[in-house]
Chains A and B, each alone.
Chain A
């Protein structure tokens, strides 16, 4: 059974003025443990698709079933809860909370989940160690390089024990060395823990490392 099953998915923006169909009649299936890149030119619908899978936007039509739950049927408040417990996010611009340390940033997700302080502390330390930042746990984001910040973001995404991680252009702001290190890390997590990664990108280095590439064009999957 697929982890994510998308059936006849569509998203129309500005439907009252000039309708723009960002995603149209899209069918897609992603299995547990996939390391998938969604690629395509700007405006092809990559981010919209990721937002729909992540429950940040509601589809205009169609279904997204994650582990048997059609997330399009969830109420907004239930969707927030669903995201918290099932989906890990890594964003383009690192997006850590600047006033919190690396450890506190990772802990924050677990705090929202209501996990006890002791357990939060130990898991945050474990995760940061696993992304190679065990020594920088108490550093604030502005004391870390872009690559290090993005690794903290990966640790934060994994903190909630998600079913999969969505990464929207995770390497867009990174240099080659940091890009390579981040891809190594995600690859390792994927292989070691069978963690599912879905990322949008138009970075050739990322596409090269992906084990499945889905190409979007005008909101539809381009056949191979």
Chain B
């Protein structure tokens, strides 16, 4: 009956309760939406990095990621790729031959990472193929074709079918040159990546390196993010002599930003709840002050202070949860609608490119955050209830029953 009484007490002053419920609803709606946008942004940066380049897991010869020495290739790389592709949980795997070198045009030169790939397999692990703004993705029968980023094309003043000369160190430390014709120009969400990564056929690179097929990097995509730890553990077990890293280890800055976005989402909602605590406290204080006589009567007839405290606490929690549930429903509905079509941020494209985030933002909040939010509301309501409940239990029944 105490719960029923608390619920009925909320609706004594319907207008006042509705005002605070509306305030909580709007506050949470704004908080959730801001949180979802931040989470969406973080997720966008992660997905963009994974889709464009990183994949979920990468395997290298130990030391390669530090010194980028072209001789540190993975022994029996091709065989291992074929073996990895058959593992459960692995969606796709591709090998890359990586050399750092210079790209030169008649206009300029620039340091680049040259990635020798198998186009078919590479399109299973990254989406460079889908990012082409002009040209095609290794469909030509010509030798020495190259796909370059838009930023590099602009910097070197290269267009489709223009020639660029790549120079890099060979396996025997001699300098190798090769002329490549631009077959496609891509534009990803990161201008820094576009400026520094070029793609050529692995077979063209082996010829220039005067080498049999070698692989410096195996990129793996998994079926779903939740199987990544299992696949990663299995691969570590299978290839103890190789260096295996997940995308989180490969791009800790991206992982940190994504984690920070989640923390900021909680922080943002927390700030809003903190502001709401004052409003709720004020409402409940008014409710207590209006019922001084009745609270005095309750204590006079034998209601213990603990129960009076509990009653005020329940009222506050119910009031807050009512607003919280409305806020969550409205917020979740808004997020669901926006996540379907995305938010077009093309107007801020240049700024977003420097962060490596997509220009279409898909806000989202994990289900766990909604659960955490309900817990946060209950905690906030409990804090808000403290002062009114404290005031209520410190009333003197003999004086309170004579308050009109």
Given that A91-B297, A97-B294 are known contacts, is A80 also in contact with B1, CB under 8 Å in the complex?
no
Whether the Cβ atoms of B12 and A99 lie closer than 8 Å is: yes
Inter-chain contacts of A81 with B (CB < 8 A): 302, 304
Q: Which residue of A lies closest to B7 (CB)?
A: A99
Given that A93-B404, A100-B8, A104-B1 are known contacts, is A57 also in contact with B299, CB under 8 Å in the complex?
no
Q: Is A9 an interface residue (CB 8 A)?
A: no
Q: Looking at the assembled complex, report how far the CB atom of A219 sits from the nearest CB atom of chain B, in whole angstroms.
A: 16
| Residues from 296 to 343 in B contacting A, C-beta threshold 8 Å | 297-305, 307
Inter-chain contacts of B300 with A (CB < 8 A): 54, 56, 83, 89, 91
Chain B residues bordering chain A, tally (CB within 8 A):
24
| Residues from 149 to 176 in A contacting B, C-beta threshold 8 Å | 156, 160
Q: Which residue of B lies closest to A91 (CB)?
A: B401
Whether the Cβ atoms of A89 and B301 lie closer than 8 Å is: yes
- CA gap between A84 and B304 in the complex, in Å: 9
Inter-chain contacts of B11 with A (CB < 8 A): 99
Q: Which of A108-116, A125-133, A180-188, A207-215 contacts B (4 or more CB under 8 A)?
A: A108-116
Inter-chain contacts of A112 with B (CB < 8 A): 301-304, 307
- CA gap between A97 and B2 in the complex, in Å: 12
Q: Looking at the assembled complex, report how far the CB atom of B28 sits from the nearest CB atom of chain A, in whole angstroms.
A: 27
Q: Which residue of A lies closest to B10 (CB)?
A: A99
Whether the Cβ atoms of B297 and A77 lie closer than 8 Å is: no
Inter-chain contacts of B8 with A (CB < 8 A): 99-100
Inter-chain contacts of B301 with A (CB < 8 A): 83-84, 89, 109, 112, 156
Instruction: Write the B162-201 contact mask toward A (1 if CB under 8 angstroms, else 0).
Output: 0000000000000000000000000000000000000000
Decide if the interface of chain B is mainly helix, strand, loop or mixed.
Answer: helix
Given that A104-B1, A111-B1 are known contacts, is A51 also in contact with B398, CB under 8 Å in the complex?
yes
Inter-chain contacts of B401 with A (CB < 8 A): 56, 91, 95
- CA gap between A89 and B397 in the complex, in Å: 12
Residue A85 contacts which of B5, B294, B297, B302 (CB distance < 8 angstroms)? B302
Q: Looking at the assembled complex, report how far the CB atom of B226 sits from the nearest CB atom of chain A, in whole angstroms.
A: 47
Q: Is B9 an interface residue (CB 8 A)?
A: yes
Q: Is B293 an interface residue (CB 8 A)?
A: yes
Residue B293 contacts which of A56, A83, A95, A104 (CB distance < 8 angstroms)? A95
Q: Looking at the assembled complex, report how far the CB atom of B231 sits from the nearest CB atom of chain A, in whole angstroms.
A: 57
- CA gap between A99 and B214 in the complex, in Å: 81
Residue B397 contacts which of A56, A100, A111 (CB distance < 8 angstroms)? A56
- CA gap between A91 and B297 in the complex, in Å: 9
Q: List 17 A-B contacts (CB under 8 A).
A: A51-B398, A56-B397, A80-B302, A80-B304, A81-B302, A83-B300, A84-B301, A91-B297, A95-B297, A97-B5, A99-B5, A99-B8, A100-B5, A104-B1, A107-B1, A109-B302, A156-B301
Closest 3 pairs between A and B when the two form their complex, measured CB to CB: A84-B302, A99-B8, A56-B398
Instruction: Show the binding face of B for A, using Cβ within 8 Å.
Output: 1-2, 5, 8-9, 11-12, 293-294, 297-305, 307, 397-398, 401-402, 404
Given A80-B304, A83-B302, A99-B11, 11 more A-B residue pairs with CB atoms under 8 Å apart are: A47-B402, A56-B401, A57-B398, A84-B303, A89-B300, A91-B297, A95-B297, A107-B1, A109-B302, A111-B2, A156-B301
